[in-house]
Amino acid sequence: MKKIRYEVQTDGFHGVYYPNQNPSRKAMIVMFGDDSEDHLARCAASYFQELGCNVMALSAAKKDYGYHSWPLENIEKAIGVMREKGNDAFGIAGISTTGMIALAAASLIPDLTLTIAMSASDFVMQGFFRDGLDGCDERPADGESTLTWRGEGLPYLPYAWKHPQYWQMLKQEAADTHNIAAARNMFNESENRCPLTEEMTIKTENIKGHLILIGAEDDALWDTCRYSRRILQRLQEREHECTVEAVLSEHGTHFVIPEGMMKKLLPFGVDFLLPKLFPAAGGYTGECRKTRENIDAAVRKAVSVWQ
């Protein structure tokens, strides 16, 4: 794929632009993977290119999935670059932490008119590092939000545990549940210790255009379906400008991505590998595949009618 790189030092953000070989004025910002050029990011770019979009892949930094005090203005800068290239419809898609970032960005940046949030939370998370300090793969960023806006940190839900207990507890939960990663207990305990406030909650009623919420009940990282239902309830109670669609399934794990993207990511062996990563998928390969197919259909339809 043709690509154009952008760096913080010269352009104000870290990302890669993947222009479509066919003329298009639709541009998707995708936030998948640890880096804007890794396998998952390239698969996401290829998937949305096939749907007729130009694509900008963004990440926190080069080969760094740790988000702490990350400026949402980076997304504004990326939109500015894409507008200069002739695009006039802008969307955003993310999964897991970046699903949350997609919601937060769309609630603050009205240029975003298609938001696809996979396995997202309805609140801003505390920031975190992935720097290997003290042998821990991940640790909380003390006193930092994942995100900033106009130079101020967004209010966030603090994690239940601090470093190094944070990583020790995540490792224990993953071992106990036999998942490659698990944090559901940690996020539930975080809300028990610090009940969610309005300030921490993403103002999804400000999102423009179309919003797709995607999640599975068997998610081992956090209770994303509960978070999505809270968003739906919030939108029922408040005036809002977006149309909303929820693709919530019993089976699918944390890794709820469109089937078309999954086939690019893992062209062989996904039904074998997914239960190895997340045991909840074991015995439900058909149901997980159906979930991904439903997600694929929803995303394709949304992009096709998006103006």
Q: What is the pLDDT of residue 39?
A: 95
Distances 302 to 26, 36, 147, 198, 226 between C-alpha atoms, Å = 12, 24, 27, 30, 23
> Looking at residues 187-200, what average pLDDT do you find?
98
In the structure, what pLDDT confidence band is assigned to residue 240 with cuts at 50, 70 and 90?
A: very high
Query: For residue 233, is pLDDT > 90?
Result: yes
Query: For residue 64, is pLDDT > 80?
Result: no
Query: For residue 65, is pLDDT > 90?
Result: no
Instruction: Provide the token pair at 20.
Output: 């479509």
Instruction: Provide the token pair at 282.
Output: 């074991």
Q: Are the C-beta atoms of 179 and 189 separated by less than 8 Å?
A: no
In the structure, what pLDDT confidence band is assigned to residue 273 with cuts at 50, 70 and 90?
A: very high
Q: What is the pLDDT of residue 33?
A: 87
**Rounded percentage of the chain residues whose pLDDT exceeds 90:** 94
How far is the C-alpha of 147 from the C-alpha of 155, rounded, in Å? 9
Q: What is the pLDDT of residue 230?
A: 98
Angle 102-131-145 (CA atoms, 0-180°, nearest 5)? Answer: 40
Residue 102 CA, distance from chain mean position: 6
Q: What is the mean pLDDT of the chain?
A: 96
- Half-sphere exposure of residue 285, counting CA atoms within 13 Å on the CB side? 11
Q: Residue 233 burial (CB < 10 Å; 0-12/13-18/19+)?
A: exposed
What is the end-to-end Cα distance of the chain in Å, rounded? Answer: 25
- Please list, in sequence order, all residues whose beta carbon lies within 8 angstroms of the beta carbon of residue 29, skipping any fewer than 6 positions away: 55, 56, 57, 58, 75, 78, 79, 90, 91, 92, 93, 112
Quote the pTM value: 0.97
Strand partners, 299: none
The Cβ of residue 104 has, within 10 Å, a number of other Cβ atoms equal to: 28
- pLDDT tens figures, 113-149: 999 999 999 999 999 999 999 999 999 999 999 999 9
If you search the block for the tokens 């239960």, which residue do you land on? 275
What are the structural domains of the chain?
Answer: 4-305 (3.40.50.1820)
**Rounded percentage of the chain residues whose pLDDT exceeds 70:** 100
Q: What is the pLDDT of residue 62?
A: 77
- Please list, in sequence order, all residues whose beta carbon lies within 8 angstroms of the beta carbon of residue 105, skipping any fewer than 6 positions away: 72, 75, 92, 112
- Please list, in sequence order, all residues whose beta carbon lies within 8 angstroms of the beta carbon of residue 130, skipping any fewer than 6 positions away: 64, 65, 66, 137, 138
Instruction: Provide the token pair at 98.
Output: 């970046």
